[in-house]
Amino acid sequence: MNSSISRQLIFWLAIPLMLLALCGALVHYLNHVAPAMLSSDLRLKEASSALMARTRYADGAWSIVAAGDGAPLPPAASVYALRDAAGRLLAGDARLSVVGLGSDAPQVFAMSPFDGRYVRTLSTRFETAAGPVIVTVADVRAPTEPAARLGLMSTLLWDFVQLDITLVLVWVGIQLGLRPLKRLRDEIAARSPMDLRAIDESAVPREIAPVVVTLNRLFTLLRTSVQSQQQFISNTAHQLRTPITGLQAQLELLVAEPSALPVKGRLMTLHEGIRQLAHASNQLLSLARADPAANIAVKKQPVDLHAVIGEVVARFFDRAIAGSIDLGVDVQPVSLQADSSLLDDLVSNLVDNALKYTPPGGSVTVSAGRLAGLPFLAVEDTGPGIPPEERQRVRQRFYRMPNSPGHGSGLGLAIVEEIARIHDATLEIGPGLAGVGTKVQLRFS
């Protein structure tokens, strides 16, 4: 799956912003929380040292004596407890809970309950003549550490709220900034494969202008290539049709000569072969003209469908009479956006196929008009019909159904399919009226 530019930008912005938020929280901790904790711990150590220096055991009782210099105890020593190794209170305040000391930890800081709140305490084990004693000192003054911790959490929370808001604003900014790129994408996506008009370079930001310039160059190269191909097809058609038409005319004159009577049969065979060659070359050229690669730059314009049908039917009228086929027209005036020459090829191939497969005494009907508001064209015959399993295969190039009459090339419906695709038309093949023959219908969008 292709990566998203907006997602990548958000990702690469989120990581450094998150690191900055964490660094800010660390700085706040070092400036506010850590000094408060260090100050409290220092006071507790001083108080604990003072208490240990003044602890005395006499006449089976423990007491805290005054200092020789008369110095008072530190304020942090106002609440203390002396306990023996078993945890029994020897002196001091019983409200201070017992703090367990391991053999390898002679001094432990802890948060202990006291009068419904937690205070920071320091428990120290020291040796006396009467055995080991544990002195616990509590700092019961208004605590600054919880406030500092609350300040830290508030700062950290606000930093991440700011981070989220910043990322949302950045995402909105990215989406707004990418709108010209999305408009360009939609403009190109809305074009048909045949639309090679240059993109307006002045309407795009400078950052993507080189891409648009490159696309316009590509469109120009494609247009030039298509025009060259179309010119080649036109020249080839002219170069092929002229000598083939001349050969047919000369053979017709030669057949009419009395001296050619002994070889008239061979001449007629040769004439039929040249006629088939002319038909095959015309179909190949029609297929080349209908190729989507040759029609990328096709110019569609309003075309009267009934006029095109009239011209095509007029060309095939003599052939229909010669084959005793009733060639009829049921056309309503209708106009559509199309290439007139390609539309002529389409109708010609449909009528040619219908006449080829319709037996003498049959009929071929060309109809056109509007169906559900859209232009349509249909050619219906009374021939043998196309089985349902063959209706998809007959659209393929050079495919002819088994036991097909004549010597066709199998390109008629392939040409119709290509021209229909160029004009965004839907090709349907089905049975004729009352299930007899074949009906080929195109619906134009």
pLDDT in tens, 162-209: 878 888 888 888 888 888 888 888 888 887 666 778 888 887 888 788
- Residue in 238, 247, 319 with CA at minimum distance from that of residue 285: 238
336 inside domain: yes
Residue 279 lies in a domain: no
Query: How much is the pLDDT for 309?
Result: 92
Give the pLDDT score at 71: 58
The pLDDT of residue 178 = 80
Mean pLDDT by 10 residues, the chain (445 residues): 69 80 73 68 82 78 67 67 82 82 78 81 82 84 59 74 82 82 83 75 81 86 73 64 75 80 81 73 66 58 90 91 91 88 87 89 92 91 87 77 62 82 87 87 90
User: Cα separation of 301 and 247, whole Å?
Assistant: 36
Domain-located, residue 50: yes
- Domain end marker among 98, 130, 148: 148
Q: Is residue 211 one of the residues assigned to a domain?
A: no
Taking only the tens place, the pLDDT of each residue in 378-417 is 999 998 888 888 888 888 776 777 666 655 566 778 888 8
Q: Return d(Cα 24, Cα 22) in angstroms, integer.
A: 5
The token pair at 340 is 């007139």
Q: Which residue has the tokens 């002319």?
A: 278
Residue 435 lies in a domain: yes
Q: Of 87, 119, 148, which residue is a domain's last?
A: 148
Distance CA 72, CA 68 (A): 10
pLDDT at 377: 93
Distance CA 140, CA 64 (A): 19
Neighbour count for residue 30 (Cβ, 10 Å): 10
Crossing angle of the two packed helices 264-290 and 412-422, in degrees rounded to 10: 20
Is 376 buried (19+), middle (13-18) or exposed (0-12) by CB count in 10 A?
buried
Based on the structure, what is the number of domains in the chain? Answer: 2
Distances from the Cα of 333 to the Cα of 336, 352, 428, angstroms: 10, 23, 22
pLDDT computed for residue 232 by the predictor: 67
pLDDT (0 to 100) of residue 324 = 92
Amino acid at 336: L
Tokens of 393: 């295969």
429 within a domain of the structure (yes/no): yes
Q: Please give the pLDDT value at position 104.
A: 72
Asked which of 115, 148, 181 is the last residue of a domain, the reply is 148
- Is 279 in contact with 349 (CB distance < 8 Å)? no
Domain extent at residue 124? 5-148
Q: What residue has token string 């055991």?
A: 57
CATH number of the domain residue 314 falls in: 3.30.565.10
Q: Is residue 161 part of a domain?
A: no
- Could you tell me if residue 348 is inside a domain? yes
